[in-house]
Amino acid sequence: MAENITYIVGNKLYVNLTNKCPCNCTFCIRNNGDGVYGSDSLWLDHDPDSIEAIEDLKKRDLTSFEEVIFCGYGEPTEALDVMLECCRYIKSVGNIPTRLNTNGLSDLINKKETAPLLKGLVDTVSISLNAPTEAEYNAVTRPSFEGAFDAMQKFAVSCLEHVPNVMMTVVDVIGEEQVERAKALCEKLGVKLRVRPYEG
């Protein structure tokens, strides 16, 4: 059994489906420890299948949480099919808001357009922009894919057609000038920008 598929932060439930990620971000929280916000270790002994993940969700009173967020020690869209099955289960329980925290590289990971698959299942998509230009993005995010910066933007725009709330995020440590340029890029794409504090 995979351990720590779900963990609680405040009044939100987080779902940790995989440790796989095509990026190696310089500021990744995985470099700082085994868990976040006092959670147990988020390193999985294996990626859970949909049956395991849903069994774990069934242990929680989902209606008591403000939001269920797919975010752990890996990129959730590396386990896209399992994530979608979990969303179907969550929505069968009640009108519980769901959010995907992602690097935005799902289309490259899954080799197809994936935003349409989120329709009716994911209420918010939060994409890690990290930096406002391709060179800066590659330096910070260190993706394994060529063309990741463009693919991430394309995914964001595609999500606008299928998901009610779409945002991009940067961490505040990148500096005010880069934050301003990130805002300009998001305005061009038509998505909101959230500047979040660095969780070191």
Give the pLDDT confidence of 1-52 residue by residue, as tens digits.
456 899 999 999 999 999 999 999 877 665 554 445 445 668 788 999 999 9
Q: Return the closest-CA partner of residue 163 out of 104, 110, 111.
A: 104
- Residue range 157-186: average pLDDT? 92
38 CB-near residues (< 8 Å, 6+ apart): none
Per residue in 136-170, pLDDT (tens digit) is: 999 999 999 999 999 999 999 999 999 999 999 99
Cα–Cα distance list, 179 to 41, 94, 133, 152 (Å): 32, 37, 11, 18
Amino acid residing at 47: D
- Verdict on whether the full-model pTM lies above 0.85: yes
Specify the pLDDT at position 1: 46
DSSP string, 154-174: HHHHHHHTT-SEEEEEEEGGG
Per residue in 91-150, pLDDT (tens digit) is: 999 999 999 999 999 999 999 999 999 999 999 999 999 899 999 999 999 999 999 999
* Alpha carbons 69 and 73: distance in angstroms, whole number: 13
For strands 67-70 and 192-196, give the pairing: unpaired
